[in-house]
Structure 1
């Protein structure tokens, strides 16, 4: 089965207190997105698609040395809308698509390989990378079936019941999808929500409604799913990257 990787790199990064695109902030002298692209390349995918948006030209220039294709998200209407922009490049593609965030450089190549192997072994249509953390406040919760094998729901904090809020397994924002089902589902999601945005997580609702198998793969080290939203988080990521444990 062939593999493609879509990297989200369109965000402004308002909380970084800088006008620089978030993925171009430097960790140990290199743009954060470089780590994500290099780890993606290690999987030898058929194609890597970088979704650009805010200051797109700067992001393209900074990543021009890599063998990646570009899709423009302008204006930006949510994560689902971002992935929709990759469809023209992947319309003939019939394999699996990994979705990554360009501002989350700490996942390891080994974890991505294990995630794909798990997805294939379980014959899932979609698989979400998860982690258990002590304080899951603010994160989407992953609700599993009684036997733990399948995912029943992914519930955002604001929509979670008290019982669901007690669950400490969270959605990392890293996914593997079968390409055909992904784009079919993206055609069905709506922006009828408070933000008037198209959410990638709504794809899971479509899958659940069709009775398609959705699984979750839990990573042992929750540091791997850390994103970078603030200068403080960037400094923490730099320290972790220097440890040599996140390659």
Structure 2
């Protein structure tokens, strides 16, 4: 199996709940932008190529990352996470290996956790591996249904979950590693038949499960690592948590 590793970092959103004109990923946690922290995570995990998806005020994001040795894919219209990842396909035409998909607003994730995700993926020669977490209050998140061998059986969104499934505390973190050729192949089959009319990356997973692809699960030891920052309050909380780590 090829050990080549790259990363796609999703950083195109505005972040309307931050109540700021600054692109969300440029907000700082302990003096360093969230996107810079996520790039550091990808490099610590061993990513040889990093493509950042930019959109809202893209010039500002690109300018802030001068000298960081990353490439930029532009998502002109924000049509969802699957659409964002699709914009990166031209960067991987002549490249084979595995692609980490990260979010630019998850500043507490550690390189160590990513390395565990990658190891689980490689040891099992998985087609995809998903980082999960256990939350005391999983309300609003897609719930993970596991097979006995730690592979994914299904992800059930909150709105589709019955009372029994809502008791499950293991959730999808939105952080993944895929075999490159399968990622871009399955993205072509994702539709936008949802209330927002957007193309969502997690929708590739049921398609892969249907085709008996091997999707393994790796649970983060610290659930706070995977929590994204969407509001000013969450930004302050992230700062407080990071102070305890560093």
Q: Same fold (TM over 0.5)?
A: yes
- Once the two structures are overlaid, the 10-residue window that deviates more, 41-50 or 79-88, is 41-50
| 2:192 aligned partner | 191
Write out aligned runs for 1:73-92 (5 A): 73-92=75-94
2:125 is aligned, of 123, 126, 131, to 123
| 1:158 aligned partner | 159
Confirm or deny that 1:204 pairs with 2:205: yes
**Alignment RMSD (CA, Å):** 1.1
| 1:52 aligned partner | 54
1:150 deviates by 1.1
Write out aligned runs for 1:68-147 (5 A): 68-145=70-147, 147=148
Do 2:6 and 2:49's aligned partners in 1 also have CA atoms closer than 8 Å?
yes
1:211 deviates by 0.8
| 1:231 aligned partner | 232
| 2:175 aligned partner | 174
For 1:219 and 1:117, how far apart are their aligned partners in 2? 13
1:148 deviates by 4.7
1:11 deviates by 0.7
Aligned length: 244
1:184 deviates by 0.5
| 1:236 counterpart SS class | helix
For 1:26 and 1:5, how far apart are their aligned partners in 2? 21
| 2:201 counterpart SS class | coil
| 1:63 aligned partner | 65
Unmatched 5+ stretches in structure 2: none
For 1:43 and 1:111, how far apart are their aligned partners in 2? 9
For 1:125 and 1:44, how far apart are their aligned partners in 2? 19
| 1:149 counterpart SS class | coil
Do 2:13 and 2:24's aligned partners in 1 also have CA atoms closer than 8 Å?
yes
1:169-223: CA deviation from partner (whole Å, max 9, x where unpaired) = 0111100101011000001111122211111011101101111111110011101
For 2:237 and 2:157, how far apart are their aligned partners in 1? 25
For 1:106 and 1:29, how far apart are their aligned partners in 2? 14
For 2:30 and 2:67, how far apart are their aligned partners in 1? 19
2:26 is aligned, of 24, 27, 49, to 24
Q: 1:148 to 1:133 in 2, by over 3 A?
A: farther
Do 2:45 and 2:112's aligned partners in 1 also have CA atoms closer than 8 Å?
no
1:105-149: CA deviation from partner (whole Å, max 9, x where unpaired) = 11111111111000111221111101111110011111111x152
Instruction: Give the TM-score normalised by structure 1.
Output: 0.96
1:74-108: CA deviation from partner (whole Å, max 9, x where unpaired) = 11100000000010101222111000000001111
Instruction: Give the TM-score normalised by structure 2.
Output: 0.96
